[in-house]
Structure 1
Amino acid sequence: MDPILIYGANGYTGALIAEEAVRRGLKPVLAGRNRDALDALAQKLSLTRRVFTLEDPAEIARHFDGIDLLLNCAGPFSQTAVPLLEACLEHSVHYLDITGEIDVFALCHRAQPRAQRQGIVVAPGVGFDVVPTDCAAAMLKQQLPDATHLVLAFEAAGGPSPGTAKTSVEGLAKGGRARVDGKVVDVPLAWKSRTFERDGQPRTAMTIPWGDVYTAFVSTGIGNVETYMVTSPKTIARVRRLRMLMPLLALAPVQSFLKSRAGATAGPDEQRRAATRSHVWGEVRNAAGDERRLQLVVSNGYALTVQSALGIAQHVLATRPAGDYYTPSQMMGAGYVLSLPGTSLIDG
């Protein structure tokens, strides 16, 4: 039996995960829509491949034969999660992905009753989106159990992959998101800005619709969540100017053009991944004004995604947890990120 199917294996992150899987002695099945790219990767890694699109449920089902777990690496996940998740629920295959898209987290969470009945794990966001931030949120909840407000922020170096860049284009048309009094609400692009301190220096950041707006509430029960990305003041000003263009950004021809430009992004090479680190900040406070803070230094976001996604996939196959929807910290524990190579914790 071939237990793991990596869909989108020919993409930037999927290929990195496949290569690391082989180094770990695993033999995943490679899958996706690009026959030539899959053939080349399968030959390089001495693996089998399955080529299929996602329009026909029967075709997807045929390629699930002998599969225990699907790891979806094909973004934007707004396009791939619905058919692949449905196939997993229909055929009792565990579903994991590396999304950071709020709507995909919500989609997966709504499938919780079916996952419980089918006895399968549904665990989206097992990469950089949202493992470090979700673990940070869970650790802070342990320190301040009655926290009512949570702030999370990150600074990722190294540049985006094509899939990440395309997902960002989609996100621009949807505006910002935050969680207020337990509900996910729409807010303007770059709704708030503030600074976080790194190595004694201020780092400017703006709110973005990061996946923790959805998942952190599931993990911690904290009803007010804001998520920030470190960027320059000039970028913040440019993003705020885009607010007036949101109706235009949502038009299909504009989305298509911008995604084609984004798809030309190569993603960081091995040397850049090894040379760059990412930083995560977390803050909580309760109704009395008590606060707790922490900082994490982690490996490059793509390097972390490879390690965390495979680690969680192997954990699911080895331990067979109860069928359910899981966030990363619910599945692996709040300290999971600390077990990943290159992670260090800075309190306060």
Structure 2
Amino acid sequence: MHPVMLYGANGYTGKLIAAEAARRGLKPVLAGRNRDALDALAVPLKLTRRVFELNEPDEIDRNLDGIKIVLNCAGPFSRTCAPLLEACLRKRVHYLDITGEIEVFAHCHHAHNRAQHEGVVVFPGTGFDVVPTDCVAAMLKQRLPDANHLVLGFEAAGGPSPGTARTSVEGLARGGRARIDGAVVDVPLAWKSREFVREDGRVRSAMTIPWGDVYTAFVSTGIPNIETYMAVPMKTIKRARHLRRLQWLLALRPVQAYLQGKAARTAGPDQQQRESSGCQIWGEATNAAGKQVALSLVTPNGYDLTVSASLGIVDHLLAITPKGGYYTPTMLMGAAYVLGLPGVRRVGQA
């Protein structure tokens, strides 16, 4: 029996997770659509592979025989989550993925009651999206239980993977998102901007983006107003605001196809780029009286954190008998989970 399957194992992040899993002796089944790419990955790692697409439920079910946990690494997850999640619920297999897509979090959350009934853990967002930010949100909630406003921000260097780039292209057509009075609402691209201070004292401009915590941090903390920011140059903020007028154009199928094609050719950061480019996370929670608490973390490159966070969650699920249902990172792993991952520390602390 092979307890773990990595679907989309031949993608950028999937390869990183597969290699580290093999190094740890986990021996996951590598799965996806591309037989040649899977063979090229599985043979040197001495791992089993299964080749299947996601358009035939019976085929997915057959390939989940003997599997306890699926970790879906095949983005955009707006296309791969639903069929894999349905199969996992039918086969009583725990479903994990590394998404950052708000609609995917919502789709998974809507499966909570069924997952409870089937004893299946449904846990999207096991990587940089949204483990460190969810932990920051939960730690701030512990410090300020009556917080009613949450700001989360991050700076991620090193460049995107092809999957992340394609997801970003899809998101351009939708615009921004924020949580206001408990509801996820549409807002313009680069709706708000502000500044964050790095550990080295440098000030970084940032703009709101539709990061997954708009959905998940509310589930984890109950804080009704949530804004999520990404640190970018001011010229990027201005460019994003100019794109508001072209949003209708970005949604057209030929334009999306062109931009998706360009995004798919993104290489993603190599090992040297990942090792030399870390991330910083910022969080601020405020209550109705204006009291504010803040917390900041320094982490490794987001892709390296995705590997360690996801495999830590896999190990945890293999070691326990969890109750079924939808989980955010802190609901299953606790608010301090990120602090135990390699290379993560609070700003100002060793």
With normalisation by structure 2, the TM-score equals 0.98
Distance in 2, matches of 1:317 and 1:243, equals: 46
Displacement, 1:200?
1.7
Give CA deviations for 1:29-61 in whole Å, capped at 9, x if unaligned: 000011110011010100110111111101101
* Partner in structure 1 of residue 38 of structure 2: 38
Secondary structure in 1 aligned to 2:236?
helix
Letter in 2 for 1:95: Y
Letter in 2 for 1:234: K
Displacement, 1:201?
1.9
TM alignment of 1:1-348, pairs within 5 A: 1-198=1-198, 199-346=200-347
Secondary structure in 2 aligned to 1:159?
coil
Displacement, 1:92?
0.2
What are structure 2's unaligned runs of at least 5 residues?
Answer: none
Letter in 1 for 2:171: G
What are structure 1's unaligned runs of at least 5 residues?
Answer: none
CA contact (8 A) 1:193 1:205 kept: yes
Displacement, 1:314?
1.1
Distance in 1, matches of 2:192 and 2:74, equals: 31
Give CA deviations for 1:78-129 in whole Å, capped at 9, x if unaligned: 0000100010011100000000000000000000001100001000000000
Letter in 2 for 1:339: G
Displacement, 1:27?
0.6
Distance in 2, matches of 1:3 and 1:79, equals: 24
Give CA deviations for 1:262-308 in whole Å, capped at 9, x if unaligned: 11111111111111110000000000110000110001000000000
With normalisation by structure 1, the TM-score equals 0.99
Distance in 1, matches of 2:211 and 2:195, equals: 17
Distance in 2, matches of 1:187 and 1:169, equals: 17
Letter in 1 for 2:81: A
CA contact (8 A) 1:181 1:223 kept: yes
CA contact (8 A) 1:69 1:94 kept: yes
Distance in 1, matches of 2:213 and 2:184, equals: 11
Secondary structure in 2 aligned to 1:248?
helix
Secondary structure in 2 aligned to 1:229?
strand
Give CA deviations for 1:115-170 in whole Å, capped at 9, x if unaligned: 10000100000000000000000000000000000000000011000000000000
Distance in 1, matches of 2:61 and 2:304, equals: 31
Deviation beyond 6 Å, 4+ runs, structure 1: none
Change (3 A) 1:110 1:347: farther
Letter in 2 for 1:303: D
Displacement, 1:347?
6.7
Distance in 1, matches of 2:168 and 2:44, equals: 31
Root mean square deviation of aligned Cα:
0.9
